[in-house]
Amino acid sequence: MELRMPTPEQLETIYGTDLRMSFPPSELKPLRAIREMWRDGCYRPWCLFDGGDIAGTCFLWLGRPGWALLDYLCVSPGRRNGGTGALLLEKLLETERGTVILAESEAPVHAPDPVMAERRLGFYARNGARTAGYDSEVFGTHYKTLCWAETPVDDDELMEEHRFIYRNRFSPAKYAKYVRIPRDPAAPPACQVPWDE
């Protein structure tokens, strides 16, 4: 299997099938936003190809050089539970060598499906992710912050780069309203709203 960029038509197909079925509206960017970010050079929609079929996707939202947020990781429904997700992450880390990759995974404490949220965190941990010492909240969804780095990264630096990724794309008003990095652990969960609110 090979990790490479999709064509614009393939991106539209996987967005309309795999991503839409796998992520709730509060976590899913509009396709037009993904296209704009890709065009602007701050997004890499990697796909794992098995011949002509796409087995999975792992989209990166780029920050400053050497930093990125794993925006989406999704294995095609027919390929789940067979090691494709681990292979996808392995190929991503190999392709993006030298990049510190952050990720946000739903916190079980406020997740609609706490068992599934725990399973996701376990998957990431088995595949080399370190859980950072702070959580985040974006558009009302509470996330655990994860990180892959070749050398140790201080949480303060991680947090600053995490903030930068959102601040670089959102207006100050939108950032202030919808992004909490770090999330106050004593705060009640906010109402979830769609990404393009």
Q: To the nearest whole percent, how much of the chain has pLDDT over 70?
A: 99
**Residue of higher predicted confidence among 196 and 107:** 107
What average pLDDT does range 159-166 have in this prediction? Answer: 98
Domain ranges of the chain: 2-180
What average pLDDT does range 76-87 have in this prediction? Answer: 89
pLDDT of residue 197: 56
Residue 98: pLDDT band with limits 50, 70, 90:
very high
- Find out whether 123 and 83 touch, Cβ atoms under 8 Å: no
Q: What is the pLDDT of residues 21-57, one digit of tens each?
A: 988 877 889 999 999 999 999 999 999 999 989 999 9
For 2-180, which CATH class?
alpha beta
Residue 78: pLDDT band with limits 50, 70, 90:
confident
Question: In Å, how far from its chain's centre is CA 105?
Answer: 8
Q: In what order do the strands lie in the sheet with 179-180?
A: 2-4, 43-50, 53-62, 67-75, 100-106, 141-148, 130-138, 179-180
pLDDT of residue 170: 93
| pLDDT over 60 (residue 119) | yes
